[in-house]
Structure formats: C-alpha cells, structure tokens
Structure 1
Amino acid sequence: MTATDDSIPTTGGARSRLGLVLLACCVGQFMVVLDASIVNVALRPIQDSLDFSASTLQWVINAYTIVFAGFLLLGGRLADLFGRRRVFALGLALFTLASLVAGLAWSPSSLLIARGIQGLGGAVLAPATLTVLFTSFTDPGGKARAFGTWSAVAAAGGAIGALVGGVVTEWLSWRWIFLVNVPIGVALITLVLSVVPESRDERADRRIDVIGAMAVTAGLMAVVLGIVESQDKGWDSAVTIVSLVVGVLLVAFFLVNEAKFARQPLVPLSIFRNRSVSAANVVNFTTSAALVGVLFLFTLLMQFVYGFDALKTGLAYLPLSLAIVVTARGLAPQLITRLGPKPVLVTGSALSLVALIWLSFVSTDGGFVHDLLGPSILFGAGQGFVSATVTMAGTANVPYTQAGLVSGLLNASRQVGGALWLSVLAAVVAGHAGSLSAGASADGYQQAFLIATVFPLVGIIAGLAVPGVSPAELAAAKQSWGAKKPADSAQGDPPIRGHNRPAR
C-alpha cells in the first residue's frame, strides 16, 4: 500500500456518502469561482463605503487573483503529501476566516489583505476539491458524472457571479457578498471532516522543495501581476514589463531547479511526458481564455451598447449557464463513458468555435435575443462539454499519488489563461472604441470575438492529441474497475487506457 486509504466503496449505503463528498467538493469549488467574479458589480459601493481611490480599487479583484494563481501548484501538492481531507479543511478555514474579515472591513488596506488571504485559501481549496473527487470515485461512469458536475459548477459559477453579486448588493449590502461565505464555510468544514475520506502518499518524503515552491509561487504571481497591470498601464509600461520578465525568469529557474537540483521536486517534470496531462492543460488554458473573454465582452455589450443594468445583465447569463450545466452534468458524462474523452473534448471545442464566429456578427442595433441568445446557448454547450471532459482527460494516466499535483496544474492553466486573455481583450476593445465605457458601437466587439476563435481552434488541435479509448477498453473498464481501490492501484494499471493509468 502506498497511500492511506479510507476510500468509499461504491455499493450499498456508501453511495449516499459519495453524494455528500461530491456536494462538498462542488460547493467548495463554487465558493472559489464565485468569489473571483461576484465582486465586480460591487466595486462602486465598495469604493463609496471605504473611500478607495480609483487607482487602488482594481486591487479588490487583483489581490485575490494574483495570490490565488501564485499558490495553486503548492496548494495542489500539499494535498498529496499531507492529506487531502486535512488540506481541504485548511483551505476552507482560511477562505472562511478571510471572508469574515472582508465583510467587516474598515479600511481599504483591511479589505485588500483579506482578499489576499481569500486567494491563498482558494489556492489550497480548489485543487483539493478536484483531487478528492479523483481519489473517491473509482467507477468510470461515476467518475465521469462527478467530474461533469464539478466542472459544471466551476464553469457556471463565473457566469452567475454577476447575477448573485447584483442581487446581494442591491437587496442587502456589498458586505454580504463576503459574509455569506461564513455560515456556508463553517457548515462545509463540518461536512468535509465528516464524509471526505482521508488519503495521502505514505511513501512520499514530506519535505517541501522550498526553493522550488518559492520560485514558482513568486513567478506565477509576477506573471499574473504583469498581466493585470497591463490592463491599466499598458503592455509597454515599466511595471508590466518588469513583472513579466521577473515572472518568466523565476518560472524558468523553477523548471531548471526541478529538473536538475531538487531532491523532492514540487512538480516532477516527467508529468509533462504524459500526453493526456499536457494536452488537457493546453485545452484548459484555451477554454478558460474563451470563457472569461465571452463573459467580459457580454457584460460590456449588454451594459454599454444595449443599456442593461447589473441585474438584467446577470439574468441574461442564465441561458449560457444552463447550457453549461446541462451538457457538463447531463450529456458529457454519458458520452464520455460511451466514447471516451477525446471525441467529446473535440466536439465541445468545435461548438465553441462556431459560437464565436456567430458572435463576430453582433450588431449595434441588434439586441440580446437577436444577437446573443443563440450563440450564448451554443457556446455554453461547447464549454460544458469541454470543461467536464478536460478534467477527466487531465487526470487520466496519472498515479494516484500525483492527483493533487495534476489538480493544481489544471487550476493554474485555467487561471493564467483567463487572466492573460482578459487583458488582451481589454486592450482590443478599448483601442477600438476609445474607452470601454464609451463602447457604443459593436465594431470592436466583432473584432474581439473573431480574434478569440483562435482559442477553440488550438483546443481542437490539443484535444486531438488526447489518447483515444477503444470500445473494448471502455467495456473492460465498466466490468472490472470497481474491484480496485485507488490505493491498491496507485502503482498499477487500471484496465482502461486514458483513466488513471500511471505515466511511464
């Protein structure tokens, strides 16, 4: 045995416990994703209440984003080494405590510090939710449904953030967008400690590669800092250039350290020889970029071109969100268990591509129903297929002991992809319309949607690189998977290629 294992069997009354594990993971991920987007519509009340300056207000968002992105890889590895349930609960505790402080913030600095700690808690929590699913669900069909549900929550959470933020801010106060996390977090910690199985790699050296951890954390933070600063100061500003250069150098040093010097690498580079992991991270990067870009452009179009208020804008996201949920939770798991991840992944990227081409014809004198409803449903369907399948593909062919590592990589590629493309889109739209808030013409949006088609194109190519699964392998998996516990197969081969076989 290479790992402690309280894994839940998949028969009898234990199925209900598995359902509670899935609930805990999905709610935890939803909190993390929602908190990255819910703040946007509350920025003006926050500015008025705490007397933020215009130049520092953006850091209410950036403090969370930068810290979250920087600590994702470390957070994912901690779960493998020190226990997935323990790290899950720790991340929740940090996130909940920081939410309380943010809701009670008395000054700009207190809110920004709390947002940074929220980002740290989220960076520990997000990979833990995914790796707990990976290690708790062993049946291929159950795993596909669990990943589909988790992915639907992760993808739809960003889309409904504007709606939830608008409702809470309008009916209660901006403080409640943070305070609502407190009772949910306390209840969720209790649930995690009660139902989530504990597991970790008992043979692993518990020592952390401190130099590597510091380098990659600081490097990712610097890269994301440079990206977010480019939105305000431009790509040619000193802050942007220095941040990006320092970030790239630190990440390069991290890679050299992991390959040559680290005794216990934080990220063994051999993981990237796994074709499923590499391809899935490319798809994840492009999917996140496309989704964040569409949400950003939709908001600007609806508010500055079509004249929607915050609440109406949030409601307009419901068709897109529902399409994501229906495909990710309902259709994608069935198709994955019948066909394998590859065709579903490629189909989802293709649907997203068609939707973006459709959106490139958006008109100034159109409207939501005429220009956005159809492509938003199509795009949501494509995103649902991809988001459900990329998680399955990305965690395929990896040892049980590296579940947290791969989860951290998937979350990091998602975060960096979204942040990078958002800054590029801001420059495209602003450069065409003069300013984002003055964008009364749809011409700039047409150009931005057309440029965004490159992401699903790359996603299709990367999806084709994911190993295929034959019908015989799928049938064999359905018959014999459930007989093995994750710990028993940590170094062995399950009977299906593309589903958790260790990289060689």
Structure 2
Amino acid sequence: MKRPGLTLLAVALATFMSYLDNNIINVAIPAIERDLHLTTSGMEWIVSSYILVFASLLLAGGRLADVWGRKRVFLIGLAIFTGASLAAGFAGSVDVLVASRAVQGLGAALMTPTTLAIISATFAEGRQRAAAVGIWSAVGALALAVGPLLGGLLSEYLSWGWIFFINVPVGIATFVLAAAVITESRNPQTPRRFDVPGVLTSAFALFALTFALIEGHDRGWTSPVILGCFAVAAALAVAFVLIERRSAEPMVALSLFRERVFTGGVLALMMWAFGLFGIYFFTSLYLQGVLGFSPTEAGAAFVPMALLMAGSAVVSERISHRFGAGRVVPVAMLLMAGGIASVSLLGADAGFASLMPAFAVIGVGGGLTVPLTASVLDSMPRGEAGVASGIFNATREVAGLLGITVIGAVLTARQGALLAAGQTPTDAFLGGYRAGLLLAGALVAAGGVAAFVGLRTVRVGRHATGAGAAPETGSETGSEPVALAR
C-alpha cells in the first residue's frame, strides 16, 4: 500500500476507535453496574463524561492542529486516548472510570478533527479527496453500528473491561503506523500564537450547553442549574463572537460562515445529526422494550444498516462526480427521511424482516451524504482545515444530543397524553415513538433543503480554495498534497 493509503488507514483506525467509544459502553452498563455497585447518577456519568469533554473541546482541538501541526496533535490525542482506555479497563471504582472516560474524551477531541485535516492535506482536492472521505465515513458508520454489538459480546462473554482494553493494541499499532507514514502539515500563514480567550469561551460555552442537554431530563428543564447552564452557554457564545471579530489572530475566522458551501453544509449536518442520532437512540429502546430484543440482538439489527451505509459511502464519490453533490446529497437526505418515517408504520409485532427495508433505505441514504463533508473541505482555505473540521464535528455532536433531547420530549409528551387517554404502556410508547420518528424525518428532510441551497453548484472535482487560501506545506519540505493514485 502506498504512503497516502497507509495515512488513510491510520486516520481511519483512529476514527473507528473514537466513534466506537461513543456507543460501545451503552449495552455494557448493566455489567458495570453489578461490578462497581453504581448509582443511577454513576451510570449516567460513565456515558456522559466522555461526550461532555469530547464535544466541548472539538473546536479547540481543530485549531490546535492548524497551529501546532496536524500530525503532532493527532499523535498526542491518540496517545492520550489509548492510555485512558487502559486505565478505564482496569478501573476498580466509579470515580476512576468516570475520570478515565473524561480523559478519553480529551484524546478523542484532539484526534477526531485532526483526521479530516490530515486527509485534506494528504489528498488532492476533488475525486481523490472525496474517495478518501468516503472511506473515512464508511469506517465511522461501521463503528457506530458495531459498537452496541461488540459491547454486548465482550461484556457477556469476557468482561466489561474488554470494551476498553480492545483499544490498546489498536491504538499502539495506529500510533506506530501514523508516526511512520503521516507527513506533518500546517499552513505557514496560520498564526502560531494561540487564541486563548477564543479557546476558553468556546470550550466553556460548549461545556455548559452539553451539560444542560445531558442533565436536563433528570434535573428538570426549568431547574435553576439547567437554566443557568443555558444562560451561560448563550452569554459565552456572544462573547466568543465578539472576541473573534476583534482579534487580530482569531481561533475561528468568522469569514468561514460567508462561504455558502460551508454554512449550508453545517446546517445540513445539524439537521442530519438532530434527526438521525435521536432516532438511533430511541430505536434501541423500541427494539428492546417493545419487540423484546436482547441487547446483542438490538445491536445486530443495526449492522445491515451500517454495512449498506459503509458501502454506499465508498461509491458516493463516483455518483457525486457524475451528478453533482448538490443533487446527490439532498436526494440522499430525502431517502433517509423517508426511511425514518417508514419505521413509524411498524408496530409491536415487527421483526428483523419487517425492519430491514426501512433500515436499508436509511443506510443507503446515510452513505450517500458523504459528498457533503468532501464539499465542505474543498470549500475551505487549507489553513483552516482543522478548525473547520472541529466546527463540523462539534455541530454533529451537539446537534445529536439536541435531537435526543427534543425528540425525547416529543415522545414523552405524546406517551403521557396517550396513557392519560387510557392506552396501554406499550401502545402509548409506540404512539410517542411514532411522533418522534415523524419529527426526525421532517428535520432530516429540512437538512436536504439546506444541502440543496448550499451545494447546488458543487461538483466533486471543482477546485475550491476559499478566501485567503494558502498552499499547505510539510513541516520541512513544503511538499504539495499527495494524490491518491500516485
């Protein structure tokens, strides 16, 4: 395999680990609860500590990569993530496990936005970069689906610690490979001074918002703590914008949002994550609570969807090259919206066979949205690849949490109304679940409209550098990005 292919392999392995840790723990929670004698709060924080730190620091991680070098930050993040995984596997108390999960989130926040920035620096714009992004996205899709299945198998037949130990040999191998094959890259025009006020305001704003979204259901949406967190997040967001407008060396150049492709892409991604992540979460409850699937069976139900998503992601570059991202992405999101809405037609007697057609449509549509990411990368100045990737990933994580929150509120409200009307708990849950599905489908369809507006003139292969673009350099050589076919 040539050097660009090995570089892609390294960032794909790292992406697989970080995406896997987003959801592998969910089905292992009962086993952890028994061993560590967890309270309800402890169970929640084992899951939430990772997401909280990860989402809060993605933007800062992206800018660090642009300033200090993508390879350097990637290796630091990978080392932190791997070491924290080892500590989590050996954790003998809930405090150690929660702390280890938080440190994992820090490593992932450094590593994840850097993967896309490395792809942007390694592969030439157009079809070669789009193909690399397609493979990167396919690996992420596989991790999201394999997570629950792998978590169930490891916790059932080995021990829950293995859901973390599995990262260690993969992390070490990836570190060795990445150190050997990834070429350091940064933009010589990117300021070397770090925008500390911008980093602090953005990180604490994302932290406050993420905390409120995670804790709001249990503490109450009108509780002083949750309302205070929302107020702090809003105030810090305003402060961040004012700081960045006045800074001579801002962490985020606000001119990025004048790029129609970038802004349209971020809005489309927000709607995509809002709808899909929320339904992914509540569909797991439907499979286990209504259809009676075991955790392992519920995880397995998502595998065909993920395989189709991965397969269509790989071929999405060819389709987009022929028809244009401005056509392919909106159609793909409409497919996803239709698949999500069609699940609402299923009832309490559904099985694998009746689930698969809708899941297949969602999978194919999800894979064909990959040109959205490639188009946004191509529209950016190369020196902003890291922070643009950080914005993209932070948007996805926060929008996904918001989707779980809002769709959960719709589900709960409808469920309560049906219970009050005398329906059985199962029928009431189904009624609420269907209302949530329809909302999610509508939001994903709205994302398709945003993608159509933002990407309507985009074709894979166009050379888009964005305002103020400057050529990338290697750390010493000043080399150009390497073509996939070279």
Q: Determine if the TM-score, normalized by the shorter chain, exceeds 0.5.
A: yes
Q: Describe the superposition over 1:90-131 as per-residue Cα deviations: whole angstroms up to 9, x where unpaired.
A: 110110111111111121111111111111110000001111
Q: Quick one: distance in 2 between partners of 1:95 and 1:279?
A: 32
CA drift at 1:208: 1.0
Q: Quick one: distance in 1 between partners of 2:416 and 2:155?
A: 30
The aligned residue for residue 166 of structure 1 is: 152
8 Å CA contact 2:213–2:402 kept in 1: the answer is yes
1:339 to 320, 323, 345: 323
The CA RMSD over aligned residues, in Å, is 2.1
Q: Quick one: distance in 1 between partners of 2:232 and 2:324?
A: 41
8 Å CA contact 1:159–1:295 kept in 2: the answer is no
1:36-435 → structure 2 map (5 Å cutoff): 36-138=22-124, 140-260=126-246, 262-330=247-315, 332-370=316-354, 372-386=355-369, 388-433=370-415
Q: Quick one: distance in 2 between partners of 1:27 and 1:152?
A: 11
Q: Quick one: distance in 1 between partners of 2:242 and 2:124?
A: 35
Q: Quick one: distance in 2 between partners of 1:311 and 1:398?
A: 41
Where does the alignment leave 5 or more consecutive residues of structure 1 unmatched? 1-14, 478-483, 489-493, 495-504
Q: Secondary structure at the match of 1:235?
A: coil
Normalised by the size of structure 1, how large is the TM-score? 0.88
Q: Describe the superposition over 1:255-281 as per-residue Cα deviations: whole angstroms up to 9, x where unpaired.
A: 111012x22111111111111111111
Label 1:115 to 1:197 Cα distance change in 2 as closer, same or farther (>3 A). same
Q: Quick one: distance in 2 between partners of 1:155 and 1:414?
A: 14
Where does the alignment leave 5 or more consecutive residues of structure 2 unmatched? 418-423, 464-469, 475-480, 482-486
Label 1:365 to 1:467 Cα distance change in 2 as closer, same or farther (>3 A). closer
The aligned residue for residue 467 of structure 2 is: none
CA drift at 1:487: 4.4
Q: Quick one: distance in 2 between partners of 1:163 and 1:467?
A: 36
Q: Quick one: distance in 1 between partners of 2:406 and 2:290?
A: 20
Q: How many residues align?
A: 461
> Which sits farther off after the overlay, 230-239 or 49-58?
230-239
Label 1:19 to 1:485 Cα distance change in 2 as closer, same or farther (>3 A). farther
Label 1:233 to 1:428 Cα distance change in 2 as closer, same or farther (>3 A). farther
Normalised by the size of structure 2, how large is the TM-score? 0.91
Q: Quick one: distance in 1 between partners of 2:131 and 2:306?
A: 18
Q: Quick one: distance in 1 between partners of 2:352 and 2:128?
A: 37
CA drift at 1:145: 1.1
Partner AA of 2:395 in structure 1? S
Q: Quick one: distance in 2 between partners of 1:149 and 1:485?
A: 25
8 Å CA contact 2:50–2:101 kept in 1: the answer is yes
Q: Quick one: distance in 1 between partners of 2:127 and 2:378?
A: 14
8 Å CA contact 1:138–1:485 kept in 2: the answer is no
CA drift at 1:360: 2.1
8 Å CA contact 1:92–1:185 kept in 2: the answer is yes
Q: Secondary structure at the match of 2:186?
A: strand
Q: Describe the superposition over 1:300-349 as per-residue Cα deviations: whole angstroms up to 9, x where unpaired.
A: 1110101000111111111211110111112x111122233211111111
Q: Secondary structure at the match of 2:378?
A: coil
8 Å CA contact 1:47–1:57 kept in 2: the answer is yes
Q: Quick one: distance in 1 between partners of 2:432 and 2:415?
A: 6
Partner AA of 2:331 in structure 1? T
8 Å CA contact 1:64–1:115 kept in 2: the answer is yes
CA drift at 1:58: 0.3
